[in-house]
Structure 1
Amino acid sequence: MDTRRLYSFVRIVDAGSITRAADILHIAQPALSQQMTSLETQFGQQLLIRSKQGVEPTDAGHALYRHAQVILRQVESAQAEVSVVGRALAGGVSVGLAPYSTATAIALPLLARVREQHPNILLHINENFGGVLSEAMMTGRMDLALLYDAGPIKGVTFERLLTEELVVVAPFGTGLAGESGSDISLPEIAELPLLLPGRMHTIRKVVEQAFGRAEQQPNVVAEVESVMTLSEAVRTGLGATVLPWSVARRVMDVEALELRRIEPGIEVHVSLGTPANQPLSKPAEAVRDVLRTVVADYVKGTNASSQYPADGSITAARSSPAANRATLAAT
């Protein structure tokens, strides 16, 4: 197998045109077309459909495209690992982080720690939704990710690192039931205009599942995928939201907001995901170890963090050494 042909094939599919791919690869178009003809002969299948508008992969081409990405990434990892035998670890490592989660608070400490301990590793951080991150790990385009584990996902191995309880976040004067700092029930939350992420996001799923068990329906008035937009919308009084306390504290002006625990509690789990069908490279293993340490340090720091601004009746988090959990707990 000539990996150069595979690389050219992937670039053609990405570009959607042999002409554009030839420009990107700095290869004459006839030579690139010959490479694709040789590749199709080798596999005994038509891989590309050529037209005046460009090229599209056939079903066989789609299958080869997926495998080619994995193969090329493995070749790149092998080259990087072999080239640094006996020297410092080097090479690219991609880490995915789920939005609306504690994972995003890990990004800067992770980057700093990797730069300090492994300066020759090129760290690529990608904030995206769990489904996208899981698919990227399954296809070999991502080494590891911190994401919500709503359930088993084929091709991804989960290692749970922490658990967080969700809270209601609303501007003061929204009309939350009960006294400030008291717990709030799901029927009471159902009276609020809620701003939540889309239905594919784990937070939205677990919230709707909790409402379903209580035979209630959340009043979702808008779906907001941007954490910063959500923060501004809540701050200006457009509605309330449901978030992990650590996320609300990091991205919102909690001094101007009211935060309430939900009764019964709603939890989300943040896990380290890695590809199940292929081993990590040495640089990726090193980043994984750093990531575990950063998360452990984050949990310890959260234990000593500030209390809810409303009246200090609830601490931000508490850790259980056995499970390495970060959860909200009453003082």
Structure 2
Amino acid sequence: MDTRQLRYYAAIFEHRNLSRAASECNVAQSAISHHLSNLETELGVQLFIRKPRGMEPTAAGIKLYEHAKLILRAIGAAEQDMKQLSDEVSGDFAIGLPYSVMQTIALPLMKTVMEDFPKVRLSIVESLSGTNFSNLLASDVDLAFFYNPQKDDRISMVPILEEQVLCVGKRDIVGDTDEPLTFDQLTTLPVLLLRQGVYSRALVDRPALLTKLEAKAPLHLNSVAGIITGLTAGLGCTIAPKVFVGQQLRDGILHARPVIKPSLSRTLYMGHLRERPSTRLQETMVGLLRTLIANEVRKGTWEATLFEAG
């Protein structure tokens, strides 16, 4: 097995079609088919089930693709690292950002990369924290940010900041006052929550408290836009940091009240795969992201407490 076979195989897996895979790899279809047959013979397993309308990967085929992605990304990173021995940072880099982080630093991030690092091809993937976590494990992104992640030895995680979580909604639902409300009072309100599991865990990493809220929540959504639409329409309230609905709070559409007994907070982490060696490009992007986040916190546009860089 060599890297060319793995590249051809990854193309077949992603397209589920020999002709399209051959076109992407700029080789004849017969060559792609020949490499696949040799690979199956070499490994002693069937990788695809051939069907009239395409190719369906077997369990072995799916497993090989997972390995192929990691190997090809590692080779790409090694190639980039060698090229980056020159003065200019260059290469492809993908970052997974949750909605709150996207809202706050995406624009300065894009501007800085375009102006200061013209040879960097940046991909930004906006997803809920749980999806960012999964995307990192699948090597779909090189670096990811997520709130209150589960522990996983495959990922190296660094805490970036901690922010207060408040009750947010229209004044006629949460009350026309800045006084705190207790958690027990919060459970009597119509709370709109992200879908159960790792998505809701990103709001508050306290399973017992979340269970109480989830039991009474009238709506569970797997959509940030859906939550915000419901809030502005007066369907209910939610628990979130100010940065989550910063513009709506500034415009007076929504109102925020602190929660006490207990108070609520969440921690933002940055993570990357342990098994992938750090590159100059990654180190540059990590430094840039930490700087941009720190700038927003120090300006007061992001109400949070920064953790010291380790």
Per the normalisation by structure 2, the TM-score is 0.88
In 1, the alpha carbon distance for the partners of 2:180 and 2:286 equals 37
1:266 to 264, 267, 270: 264
**Does 2:146 correspond to 1:180?**
no
- Structure 2 unpaired stretches of 5+: none
Query: Are residues 203 and 181 of structure 1, via their aligned partners in 2, closer, same or farther at CA, if it must alter by over 3 Å?
Result: same
1:284 to 268, 282, 285: 282
Match of 2:40 in 1: 40
In 1, the alpha carbon distance for the partners of 2:45 and 2:138 equals 22
- Paired residues for 1:1-331 under 5 Å: 1-99=1-99, 101-102=100-101, 104-174=103-173, 176=175, 180-200=177-197, 201=199, 202-203=201-202, 206=205, 209-212=208-211, 219-250=216-247, 254-263=251-260, 264-302=262-300, 305=301, 317=303, 319=305, 323-324=307-308
In 2, the alpha carbon distance for the partners of 1:26 and 1:284 equals 30
In 2, the alpha carbon distance for the partners of 1:104 and 1:41 equals 50
More displaced stretch, 112-121 vs 260-269: 112-121
Q: Does the CA-based 8 Å contact 1:134-1:156 persist in structure 2? A: no
Equivalent residues, number: 306
Identity of aligned residues (%): 26
- Structure 1 unpaired stretches of 5+: 306-315, 326-331
Report the Cα offset of residue 51 of structure 1. 2.5
More displaced stretch, 38-47 vs 164-173: 38-47
Q: Does the CA-based 8 Å contact 1:149-1:158 persist in structure 2? A: no
In 1, the alpha carbon distance for the partners of 2:48 and 2:87 equals 42
Give the SS at the match of 1:239: coil
Query: Are residues 324 and 169 of structure 1, via their aligned partners in 2, closer, same or farther at CA, if it must alter by over 3 Å?
Result: farther
- Tell me which protein shows more helix as a share of its residues: 2
Q: Does the CA-based 8 Å contact 1:114-1:290 persist in structure 2? A: no
Cα deviations by residue, 1:112-137 (Å, 9 ceiling, x for unpaired): 22333322111111011333322332
Report the Cα offset of residue 189 of structure 1. 1.3
Report the Cα offset of residue 24 of structure 1. 3.6
Cα deviations by residue, 1:244-264 (Å, 9 ceiling, x for unpaired): 112121455551322110112
Cα deviations by residue, 1:66-119 (Å, 9 ceiling, x for unpaired): 1111111122222333334324111011111123x3454122222222333322
Query: Are residues 190 and 139 of structure 1, via their aligned partners in 2, closer, same or farther at CA, if it must alter by over 3 Å?
Result: closer
Query: Are residues 291 and 39 of structure 1, via their aligned partners in 2, closer, same or farther at CA, if it must alter by over 3 Å?
Result: same
Displaced runs of 4+ in structure 1, greater than 6 A? none
- Please give the root-mean-square deviation of Cα atoms over the aligned residues, in Å: 2.5
Report the AA paired with residue 230 of structure 1. I
Q: Does the CA-based 8 Å contact 1:166-1:242 persist in structure 2? A: yes
In 2, the alpha carbon distance for the partners of 1:197 and 1:82 equals 43
